Structure 1
Amino acid sequence: MGHGGNMLEELMADHREVEEMFARIQAMTGQGQQLRDLVDEVTIELVRHSVAEEQYLYPAVRKYIEGGDRLADKELEDHSRVEKILKRLEKMSTDDAQMSPVLQQLMDEVAAHVEDEENNLFPMLRRACSAETLRELGDKTRRAKAMAPTRPHPSAPTTPPANKLLAPGVGLVDRARDFVTGRGKS
């Protein structure tokens, strides 16, 4: 969950982790519980990652990059689309004929979002922020991921201060549900 390093290194490590999970999904030949477990694992990681970005990355974009409001709003729209797809997958049986196309839609959305962040947003932030600022944001990002929800909540607030106030409580409830059901433990 926490990889270390500055915020950009942390988030890029998350991106590689999700890409590896997507590769495992694409390599699967069956469905059933193994696929459900992997979809749950991807969902948990993407939700935690998104919450951390919404709490620290996008506010930094707004603060340090000229035109940052527009850029952050576009990224939040990407998150909203992904979260709706995750919610749909959460309700879907692995033998549903729509599972594969919806998973592909998720992978395509996430791949485009990652490419945009890593090729555009991250280089701008690297130029605009000091190394110390990025390190501090990395620490905050790791703490946010540890407290974040593990299930999609498309109607939850995505901007401070509401997201920072509500996410830990929602995360606690999600982790309790996960503990009781065994979700995310495989």
Structure 2
Amino acid sequence: MLRQSLRPARLRVLTARSVPAPIACAKLWRPYSDEAKTAIQPGSISEVIHQDHRQIEKYYDKIVNSSDHDVQRRYQNAFVWELARHAIAEELVVYPSIETGLNDGREMADKDRAEHQVAKEQLYTFQNLEPGDRHFIPTLEALMKDLKMHIKEEEEHDLVKLEAALVPSRSRKLAEQFEMTKAFTPTRSHPGAPNKPPFETAVGLLTAPLDKIRDIFRSWPEEYSARPPSGGPSR
């Protein structure tokens, strides 16, 4: 199913006031215990983040398992597009919720942001390399080695604790905000940009249109039913 572009009128969801939505009511949270084990529920924030992770891993596999430079270029663009948007959406929607909802949330969120910064710097290098460059695959492999460790800890620790603290309706709302936010984020890595709202929001809104214009002239995998500026890849 194609990702649908959002109407400009809904841009208000990314204002400093509402991204991420403030946690103002205790009923949005439930007591957390270390023994709590929360299964991934349909429509939850964990589900959409897991889906993004699998998509990123898929694009990585496509690149490293191909010797065709055109194929590698197309999936390079897809990989960068997916990871850049995913990282910023987590920083705007998920990490502030971790900070406000968990006892050790600030420490967890700061650690995740630091790991994101490393990934953004690696991604910036990778997105500017040509598939025929001798550094192309080694740079991607180094990026993915660190990213896989981040993904594992996020899926097995951070998201488990967050879901255990959230009521299901709040988790679904975060998932909606997460997907909506990705529609307005930059589609390339900009490691010098802020990584916290409201400044990350403001810079993203200025940078994203330029990235999206350039996306029109980039090559994409044939499996895409539409280029990202027209709604994104079909999963």
TM over 0.5, yes or no? yes
> Does residue 182 of structure 1 match 2:208?
no
Which of 112, 115, 123 is 1:75 aligned to? 112
Match of 2:196 among 145, 153, 159: 159
Of residues 101-110 and 56-65 in structure 1, the stretch that sits farther from structure 2 once superposed is 101-110
Deviation at 1:182, TM superposition (A): 2.9
- One-letter amino acid matched to 2:218: G
What's the counterpart of residue 57 of structure 2?
19
Partner residue, 1:172: 209
**Structure 2: runs of 5+ lacking an equivalent:** 4-41, 223-235
Structure 1: which 5+ residue stretches go unaligned?
none
State, as a whole percentage, how many aligned pairs show the same letter: 27
Describe the shift of the 1:34–1:97 C-alpha distance in structure 2 as closer, same or farther (beyond 3 A).
Answer: same
SS of the residue corresponding to residue 88 of structure 1 reads: helix
What residue identity is the alignment partner of 1:54?
E
For the 8 Å contact 1:40–1:183, the answer to whether it is kept is yes
- Could you tell me whether the CA contact under 8 Å between 1:31 and 1:95 is conserved in 2? no
Q: CA deviation at 1:128?
A: 0.9
Is residue 78 of structure 2 the alignment partner of residue 44 of structure 1? Answer: no
Residue 147 in 1 paired to residue 184 in 2? Answer: yes
In structure 2, what is the equivalent of residue 10 of structure 1? Answer: 48
Which is helix-richer, 1 or 2?
1
How many residue pairs end up in the alignment? 183
Distance 1:34 1:115 in 2: 28
The answer to whether residue 57 in structure 2 is matched with residue 57 in structure 1 is: no
Q: Please name the residue that 1:87 is paired with.
A: 124
Q: How far is 1:83 from its partner?
A: 0.7
How far does the alpha carbon of each residue in 1:115-159 deviate from its partner, in whole angstroms, 9 at most, with x for none?
A: 010011011001111111111111110111111110100011110
CA displacement at 1:23 relative to structure 2:
1.9
TM-score in terms of structure 2 length: 0.74
2: CA distance between counterparts of 1:109 and 1:31? 25
Question: Greater CA radius of gyration, 1 or 2?
Answer: 2
Q: 1:10-46 deviations in whole A, cap 9, x for unaligned?
A: 1111011111112222321x14222111111100000
